[in-house]
């Protein structure tokens, strides 16, 4: 079912209100104490669960808790710690490259703009948006697998590429609600609108959803 932009904007308003009430505590589930820690944790979360990342990062940050310290670590030291997150060699390269760039170009501080963040090794728009929305209170749509799936089922996008989905969502979601949308839709995707067998009979936005394969 195709909706006009005006219809989608109306549905967005209703869906946001319902999901905000359903998930009042929605937040990023990665553990962090600084923008640097969230940046690194988000890089590690690629193709890995947040729970697994949270098991690894305490040890990582206790040894290399800022860009300067991490940039001086050896690849072997990093690999040994982050191995459980998968793709650890590529992720180690990104962690070291990002830490070195933060130290050399940004005086050890995580930048607060999309344009600067995506210059860091291993940092794309999704990772940058996680940091911007959760650390710097910038409007940011974070397109993870849950946001991609739920937004598609709700009829807000038909794109496959996360960056294109982000721009579709920006057209219909008020800027002030970008980060809120990402948080509550991620929770909805985790706990109700799950991948294989969505719990449509328990869904608070079921009446607003055009998904043809509902489980009622």
- Residues involved in catalysis: 126, 144
In this structure, the chain runs to a length of 216
Helix pair angle (5-22, 178-191), 10° resolution: 70
The residues, any chain, with a CB within 8 Å of residue 28's CB and separated by 6 or more, are 38, 130, 134, 183
* Cα dihedral 146→149→151→152 (10° resolution): 170
| Spatial CA neighbour of 3 closest among 153, 205, 134, 199 | 153
């Amino acid at each position: 079912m195709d909706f006009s932009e005006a219809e989608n904007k109306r549905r967005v308003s209703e869906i946001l209100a319902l999901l905000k009430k359903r998930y009042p505590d929605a937040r990023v589930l990665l553990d962090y104490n600084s923008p640097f820690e969230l940046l690194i944790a988000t890089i590690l979360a690629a193709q890995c669960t947040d729970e697994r990342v949270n098991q690894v990062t305490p040890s990582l940050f206790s040894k290399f808790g800022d860009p300067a310290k991490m940039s001086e670590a050896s690849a072997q030291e990093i690999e040994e710690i982050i191995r459980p997150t998968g793709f650890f060699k590529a992720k180690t390269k990104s962690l070291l490259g990002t830490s070195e760039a933060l130290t050399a170009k940004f005086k050890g501080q995580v930048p607060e703009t999309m344009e600067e963040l995506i210059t860091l090794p291993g940092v794309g728009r999704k990772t940058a948006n996680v940091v911007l929305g959760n650390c710097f209170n910038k409007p940011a749509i974070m397109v993870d697998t849950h946001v991609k799936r739920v937004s598609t089922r709700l009829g807000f996008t038909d794109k496959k590429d996360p960056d294109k989905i982000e721009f579709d969502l920006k057209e219909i979601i008020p800027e002030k609600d970008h980060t809120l949308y990402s948080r509550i839709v991620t929770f909805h995707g985790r706990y109700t609108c799950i991948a294989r067998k969505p719990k449509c009979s328990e869904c608070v936005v079921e009446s607003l959803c055009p998904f043809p394969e509902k489980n009622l």
